[in-house]
Copies of this chain bind each other. A is one copy, B any other.
Amino acid sequence: MVPAVSWKLFGLAAVAVALGLEAVYLFMRRRRPPPVREVLFFPTPLICTEQVLRPGTCCSCPLPHHTDSALSQLIRRLLGARRSLELCIFTFSSSPLAQAVLLLHGRGVRVRVITDSDYMAASGSQIGALRKAGVVVRHNQSSGFMHHKFAVLDKSIVITGSMNWTMQAVQTNKENLLITDDGVCVRAYMEEFERLWVEFDPAGYCFFPEEEKKGL
């Protein structure tokens, strides 16, 4: 026969363990940051992004200040990167977004850019400014477009959607950007970036494919 005290202790211990496990579970859940699931839609009203790019500075431009927009949300998200930015973008002519990338580069964040060869030198393109500042840019050589429009921040957040980084896309078009830290998605986009980074390595450029084939 088990003595009464043992059953009492056993009962109380079982309750304590059950409650303790539940408390630990809730504590761990609360400590984990909420998942990043965000969607931005454009066009967005034209506002001054100076305050977002350089908080604390004063700007007297005629654009609206102290209001929020999808563009400023995107810039804030980009400036949150601490270690790396992988950017795979078809066309890039937006000055505020280029400034955000240059700020990251200036802070020491490793920035790598892949873009499309047909558009990188087009009028208004920011690719030249990025290269001039020392950002490494690679581009496709094939006949099809490098049509991706995605970015990976700190290998942990992916931003993808329909939007090229142009002022027309930001201010005029109907566009979307999905932002997520889902591990499956982030891994897939990182792998695609690394694959293209190797594929577009300038060491492998083939300037005269026909002549090379002929052994010239």
Each complex incorporates copies of this chain amounting to: 2
**Is there a chain B Cβ closer than 8 Å to A119's Cβ?**
no
* Closest chain B CB from A42 CB (angstroms): 9
Q: A7-B8, A39-B185, A39-B189 are in contact. Are A144 and B160 (CB under 8 A)?
A: no
* 8 Å CB interface, A143-182 against B: 143-150, 158, 160-163, 168-169, 171-176, 178, 180, 182
| Interface pairs A-B: 5 shortest CB-CB | A11-B11, A144-B172, A4-B4, A39-B188, A18-B18
Q: Tell me the A residues contacting B by CB distance below 8 Å.
A: 2-4, 7-8, 10-12, 14-15, 17-18, 37-39, 41, 43, 88, 90, 140, 142-150, 158, 160-163, 168-169, 171-176, 178, 180, 182, 184-185, 188-189, 192, 196
